[in-house]
Amino acid sequence: MNPGSAFILPGLRTPFTKMDRELARFDGLALSAPVIQQTVAGDRGPGRDAAARIDLVLWGAVIPSLTASNWGREVWFESGLYPGVPAQGIVQACATSLAAATHAAGQVGAGRADLVLCGGVESMSHTQIGLSQGLSRKIRWAGRAGSFPRMVRTLGDIRPRDLRISVPAVAERTTGKTMGEHAEEMAREWGIPREAQDRLALASHEGATRDGGKFFRSLLVTPGTFPVDGDTLPRSGTSLEKLTGLRPAFSRSAGTLTAGNSSPLTDGAAACWVASEAGLSTLPDALPRARLLDWSQAAIDPEREGLLIAPAIAIARLLHRHGLSLDDIGMWEIHEAFAAQVLCTVAALESPEWLAARSPAKDGLGAFPRERINPNGGSVALGHPFGATGARILSQTVVELASRPAGTRAIVSVCAAGGLGHVALLEAV
């Protein structure tokens, strides 16, 4: 795999808001369409008239919806742009839109595409409730009964046991545990104290609110598109004392994870571009870009290891493949599902014994440069719309790299449900 000819360029995103708050009335289609329209037709894209030059759209969402199965095609239709562009949905839990970007880079590297629009969305406010199989079946039968009396008789066969409903949960189907419960186990296993988690959470909010959140203004859709014009979750007034005072969220006794050091359930959509050298000519010259050097995925058994530790294995493989140490990476953008999960990843990468048993990095990778993590805040402060987070982080990374010397490398790392890790290596150009 040698995607050296692939470049990442930033797209736009919605403001991120807490579930059931400012963006609650917008479903996934309504969140995505303005992001796509403004990314393509505004100063970050080829323009509305040149939309036909896009080779592919890859767009994902994690929570199932009865209104859209192929998210890529449906959001593209909703945007009202040239319908002749192929589009498909993609999903890999929290790494969904990062997976979209690396899949696009594979197409670009193979010479099958020059310009791909990638992204994702999550409207947690529009999570749909599922009926039991028995109730669903009887309602379907009633709908095609053919006469009102037969429909009534069919509905009369519904029994109390059929009235169960299924509410989607942020939990593993294989283990039955929530993400937070798994992260608590990881924190205990790696000895990550509460104070360290709260300090990372504080740094996330400080990065996200620096200069009034100025860093993000160019990455957001046009003011007035949505009821709010900026992210509503970052807190400029938070403090270590306030974070320390919060109660555990996933364990009643000795838990260390709280609402303050965990990412909240969030609504939002985000986009980014993947382009070849030829595809770059389609986009504005002033748009920042970074070379996507490589990427890596890893998986672990959630019954045997920490559910969210797989990115450490993927990072170790990626660095070893390029002969790099941890210190060779000038910036780390690590998805903050939980502050504890980030710190567990760091601890694993600093453990030669742990790495030697799971990766080619038999001699270790050196000390982790903690001061280089998420300089403009992460998911704890900004929020985490599952399908959108990867594109948000990629765009954020590219803009940050544009202010650094050419050759500066960055790693984007996202943990995902199912014991997965997806990481990418970028370079400033």
> How many Cβ atoms from other residues are within 10 Å of residue 313's Cβ?
25
Distance CA 345, CA 349 (A): 6
Catalytic residue at 94? yes
Which position among 182, 205, 384, 422 bears the catalytic label? 384
**Are 372 and 409 a contacting pair, CB within 8 Å?**
no
Catalytic residue at 415? yes
**Are 80 and 37 a contacting pair, CB within 8 Å?**
yes
- The residues near 175 (Cβ < 8 Å, ≥ 6 apart) are 182, 302, 303, 307
Distance CA 333, CA 97 (A): 15
Distance CA 5, CA 278 (A): 9
Distance CA 220, CA 244 (A): 32
Rg of the Cα trace of the chain? 22
Picking from 85, 30, 25, 32, the residue whose alpha carbon sits closest to that of residue 59 is: 32
Distance CA 11, CA 273 (A): 6
Which position among 94, 118, 272, 344 bears the catalytic label? 94
Catalytic residue at 384? yes
Burial class of residue 75 (count of CB atoms within 10 Å of its CB; 0-12, 13-18, 19+) = buried
Burial class of residue 123 (count of CB atoms within 10 Å of its CB; 0-12, 13-18, 19+) = buried
Within 124-207, strands assigned E span 130-131, 165-166
Burial class of residue 98 (count of CB atoms within 10 Å of its CB; 0-12, 13-18, 19+) = buried
Q: Which helix (H) or strand (E) holds 55?
A: none
Buried b (16+ CB within 10 A) or exposed e, 43-52: ebbbeeeebe
Distance CA 230, CA 215 (A): 11
Residues known to be catalytic: 94, 384, 415
